[in-house]
Structure 1
Amino acid sequence: MLTITESEHRISHMQRRLQESGISGALFMFPIDIYYFSGTRQNAALWMPAEGVPILFVRKSLTRARAESPLVDIRPFPSGKEFPTLFSDEIITIGMTFDVIPVQQFNYYTKVLPGRKFVDISPIIREIRSVKSNAELEKLRSGAEKLCSVFSEVPQFLKAGMRELDLAAEFEYRLRKAGHEGYVRMRAFNQELAGGLAVSKGGTAHGCFDGAVTGKGLSCASPQGASLEIIPENEPILLDYAGVFGGYISDMTRIFVIGSLDTRLQEAFDVAISIQSAIQQAMIPGAIAENLYLLALQMAEKAGLDSCFMGLPGEQSKFVGHGVGLELDEFPILAKGFNMPLQAGQTIAVEPKFVIPGKGVIGIENTFIVSGHGGLKVTDIPDEIVFIKP
């Protein structure tokens, strides 16, 4: 559970940023942002003045919110008539997370709080949350260890003739038994995640998900993840899964092969490992996120693999890494145009991958912590392709 000390630290950091921006306070409605400050994921809204004590307004369950949260002021959610009386005339500018608040909700609050100016604080909260405390890093490390343990079990049950779906079901069963919470939260609009990928031939399918590999999925309504395709011998099998433990996400990918692997795919895998190594060394405070992506792209181009780097030709994702934490798509993003300097304590999943038409999908992914010594790997099992005898 969130401690009083940790909660106070997070709140004071946010309040300091509000004061620096000349914002009277922040009104949070997105559940995971509220959880970050309050330690409870109940149906609620959080009012955080730039100075003073925050108020958590709870619809349901007030009892559980009070039991879980270290916040001092936790109240029932006020009526539309009562709500404006809680805001003094000195409250002029109110911050909201425009990246996630529905228009309907925004219109409601502008109506019940007339005369105020509403501004976007999405970049502020995302930057604050990107830097993890020691307590957060410990949760992430612990979860990564459990995720790694499940990956290590794959050779026990992976067999030729299995369907992709069978492999996914077996992996996900073991992951849940290990304590995986199932909520792989994403902030980006219109992005859904099946939980992970267990794909062979289906990995080269076109898809809507903003990632290098989408998977064929089971229907047009669920066009992502494992399919009913039979896993063949002598082709790469990609397992890409996020593990969620204590709310915190670690993300990793490993490649398995039943039999032997095509030489071109092995060469592409070696390039992916080299890219990961170069990024890991460069992952120090002050490094510009975009530059790490450009470094990866240059290495792919030099190897003659740029046309299939991070996706099928013509449908490539324009990133090579993404922040992880309470959400899968946190800051920073190692992407073109993302000029944020890295900070110590940020956690990033680095995932150089190649999708080669007619051959298959290949690559690697690990979660790292930004430090003065480069990226510290927390998904700490060997990166090498695991070959299984037919």
Structure 2
Amino acid sequence: MTTLATELQDRVSRLQGLLVKSGVHAALLLMPADIYYFSGTRQNSALWLPSEGVPVLFVRKSMVRAREECLAAEVRPFPSSREFEREIPNEQLRIGMTFDAVPIQQHGYYSRVLPGREFTDISTFVRETRSVKTPFELEQLRNSADMLASVFTEVPEFLREGMRELDLAAEMEYRLRRKGHEGFVRMRAFNQELFGGMAVSGGGAACGFFDGAVTGRGLSSASPQGASLELIRANEPVLLDFAGIRNGYITDMTRMFVIGDLDHELRRAFGVSLDIQEAVRTAMVPGAICEELYMMAVSMAEKEGLGHCFMGMPGEQSRFVGHGVGLELDELP
């Protein structure tokens, strides 16, 4: 499905307005999610987005796909190092790049091929533009969420005592892919790696490097997250945390299951978690401060005597209660 041309043009216009206000003559976008968001294609390319006028998509590969998919920019072959400067108007001297994600090597390359230009950080402009979802984007997110939710409703059909975590995860992955799940989970944060989902159980769910309340042991020390070869046992919590991806848009859902029953303290903690979730959801209105929502959640956990294990085990707790979604799993806010 291609993104509507009018949708793309509106996104470009919103970013151009921010560039004009800040005195930036053009944006040079290199991150795949940013390029897709403003152009409609994720081909190997760089997007030159001037503060006024039509953007130019410089394509390495594939020109055929880029010409088919790009609806908001002129498509040209990627120029050689010697030719790049000729492609850029001389008056466009102050160039914005997303320093939050672009490697210093890339910054150095463009500094060399575009001498005399000043490069400045526009990460906030790009991420804030993307953080406000349009009706078109909300539709994509709903489609992604519906796909994911439909598979979660099937879990009681195949969750069994004695099956391996890995087999449970594989069944989830199989069913999601059959429904059109696109597979690849984009993240913006440096050095973050994430598989499409995890199926973890018991005490092993809490161990891992990933900045989240639950990570899982994984299959090796090289890939220490997600499902392991451990067997799922009765009367232990089973957690499924999967991303849904449709038309590039990512949603994220976590559901808890148990075969049998849980002891009283675990059931109480689960109930407190639901209360915290509802309180945060109710307070999450336009203009709400994310830090205040987090502190409210922490306070509720502490009042119930669960602050020491809220969002992770003691000493390994994550300091958030949610994250933005969209073309990347960790979007603003």
Q: TM-score range by the shorter chain?
A: over 0.9
Q: Distance in 2 between matches of 1:261 and 1:131?
A: 40
1:68 counterpart letter in structure 2: E
Q: Distance in 2 between matches of 1:73 and 1:328?
A: 29
Q: Distance in 2 between matches of 1:203 and 1:310?
A: 15
State the SS of the aligned residue for 2:15: helix
Contact 1:55 1:73 in 2 (8 A): yes
1:241 has 2:256 as partner: no
Give matches, 1:32-181, under 5 Å: 32-181=33-182
Contact 2:24 2:94 in 1 (8 A): yes
Contact 1:202 1:226 in 2 (8 A): no
Structure 1: gaps (5+ residues): 333-390
| CA deviation after TM superposition for structure 1 residue 51, in Å | 0.7
Q: Distance in 1 between matches of 2:73 and 2:316?
A: 49
| CA deviation after TM superposition for structure 1 residue 185, in Å | 0.7
| CA deviation after TM superposition for structure 1 residue 81, in Å | 1.2
State the SS of the aligned residue for 1:322: coil
Q: Distance in 2 between matches of 1:215 and 1:251?
A: 17
State the SS of the aligned residue for 1:220: coil
Residue number in structure 1 paired with 2:332 = 331
Contact 1:202 1:227 in 2 (8 A): no
Contact 2:206 2:312 in 1 (8 A): no
Q: Distance in 1 between matches of 2:202 and 2:219?
A: 14
Q: Distance in 2 between matches of 1:248 and 1:279?
A: 24
State the SS of the aligned residue for 2:214: coil
State the SS of the aligned residue for 2:28: strand
Give matches, 1:270-309, under 5 Å: 270-309=271-310
State the SS of the aligned residue for 2:285: coil
Residues 345-372 of structure 1: per-residue CA shift (max 9 Å, x gap): xxxxxxxxxxxxxxxxxxxxxxxxxxxx
| CA deviation after TM superposition for structure 1 residue 329, in Å | 0.3
Residues 42-79 of structure 1: per-residue CA shift (max 9 Å, x gap): 00000001111100000000011001111341001111
State the SS of the aligned residue for 1:147: helix
2:22 counterpart letter in structure 1: S
Contact 1:28 1:47 in 2 (8 A): yes
Residues 196-251 of structure 1: per-residue CA shift (max 9 Å, x gap): 11000254442110111010000000000000001000011000111101111111
Q: Distance in 2 between matches of 1:77 and 1:24?
A: 21
| CA deviation after TM superposition for structure 1 residue 9, in Å | 0.1
| CA deviation after TM superposition for structure 1 residue 22, in Å | 0.8
Aligned length: 332
Residues 315-338 of structure 1: per-residue CA shift (max 9 Å, x gap): 111100100000000000xxxxxx
Q: Distance in 1 between matches of 2:262 and 2:4?
A: 50
Q: Distance in 2 between matches of 1:194 and 1:203?
A: 17
1:230 has 2:226 as partner: no
Contact 2:39 2:73 in 1 (8 A): no
2:179 counterpart letter in structure 1: A
| CA deviation after TM superposition for structure 1 residue 292, in Å | 0.6
1:62 counterpart letter in structure 2: M
Residues 276-332 of structure 1: per-residue CA shift (max 9 Å, x gap): 101111111111111111111111111111111111110111100100000000000
Q: Distance in 1 between matches of 2:232 and 2:159?
A: 9
1:15 has 2:16 as partner: yes
Q: Distance in 1 between matches of 2:130 and 2:279?
A: 26
Identity %: 64
**Shift in alpha-carbon separation, 1:78–1:92, aligned structure 2, 3 A:** same
State the SS of the aligned residue for 1:27: strand
State the SS of the aligned residue for 2:287: coil
2:324 counterpart letter in structure 1: G
Structure number having the greater helix percentage? 2
| CA deviation after TM superposition for structure 1 residue 187, in Å | 0.5
| CA deviation after TM superposition for structure 1 residue 104, in Å | 1.2
1:263 has 2:259 as partner: no
| CA deviation after TM superposition for structure 1 residue 117, in Å | 1.0
1:309 counterpart letter in structure 2: F
Residues 76-105 of structure 1: per-residue CA shift (max 9 Å, x gap): 111111111122332121000111111111
Structure number having the greater strand percentage? 1
Normalized against structure 1, the TM-score is what? 0.84
State the SS of the aligned residue for 2:322: strand
State the SS of the aligned residue for 2:255: strand
Residue number in structure 1 paired with 2:253 = 252
Structure 2: gaps (5+ residues): none
Residue number in structure 2 paired with 1:28 = 29
1:27 counterpart letter in structure 2: L
Contact 1:204 1:312 in 2 (8 A): no
State the SS of the aligned residue for 2:128: helix
Contact 1:59 1:77 in 2 (8 A): yes
Q: Distance in 2 between matches of 1:249 and 1:127?
A: 17
Q: Distance in 2 between matches of 1:286 and 1:134?
A: 19
Q: Distance in 2 between matches of 1:195 and 1:107?
A: 33
Q: Distance in 2 between matches of 1:148 and 1:71?
A: 33
Q: Distance in 1 between matches of 2:331 and 2:171?
A: 28
Alignment root-mean-square deviation, CA: 0.9
